[in-house]
Amino acid sequence: MLDEGRHWFTGGVLESILTAMALVLAVVQPVPQVLRVVRGGRIAGVSGPTTWLGFALNAGWLAYGAAQGLLPLLVLSAVYAAGYGTIGILLVSRGNRSGIVPAVVVAAFGALLVVAVGWTALGTVLALAVGLQFLPQVVEAWRGTDLSGLAPGTYVVGAVDGVVWGGYGLVVGDVPLVLYGVIMCTVAGLVLLPVRRWNRVAAAVA
């Protein structure tokens, strides 16, 4: 009985801490990118497809959280979707409409997947799709010659977000969330490496 109580206390407290951290990250993550676009008026290096896929995937996570009874995931996915939507609107207002159609296709595919296979399959596909979501941004970062519009802070927060959600998945026993954490950390690193290189070159030229 004592062991069961200790297990419940440890799991409950850890879950609460991870949930609080995830909420802070969800609110903070899009802020550097939004501020970079609003203040500087520049979108160089920012991927439209990654932004709109992020919006669509977080809408999927929102539905997954509701179906699985994971209230923190439901709430936080709504916040993330709002952040990506804000960045997407800013991109569109500056003439970048790329990525909207693929995002609609992905959302439709997710709905069909739930009907055909179920929610666990959707969660797994959503986790794997994080790699697909950030692939355009990774390519843009590695191939781009001007990354002045790309805010590295967003991806630093994204890496921490991966650690937190991966840990949350371990605590609640949700494999798709663990998979998401691993993939998010990987893609964040792949974006931050060329950004750091570009900043060094820009500083040297200046």
- What pLDDT score was predicted for residue 105? 93
- Number of helices (H), then strands (E), in the chain: 8, 0
Residue 128, classed as helix, strand or coil, is: helix
Q: How far is Cα 142 from Cα 75, in angstroms, rounded to an integer?
A: 33
Contact 47, 132 (CB under 8 A): no
- What pLDDT score was predicted for residue 70? 80
From first to last of the 206 residues of the chain, give the pLDDT tens digit.
434 444 433 456 777 777 777 777 777 777 787 777 777 777 778 888 988 988 998 899 899 888 888 877 788 788 888 888 888 998 898 888 999 999 999 899 989 998 898 888 888 888 888 888 888 889 989 998 888 888 888 899 889 888 888 888 888 888 888 998 999 999 999 999 999 998 888 888 76
Q: Report the amino acid identity of residue 99.
A: G
- What pLDDT score was predicted for residue 2? 37
- What pLDDT score was predicted for residue 12? 67
Structure tokens at 69: 């009874």
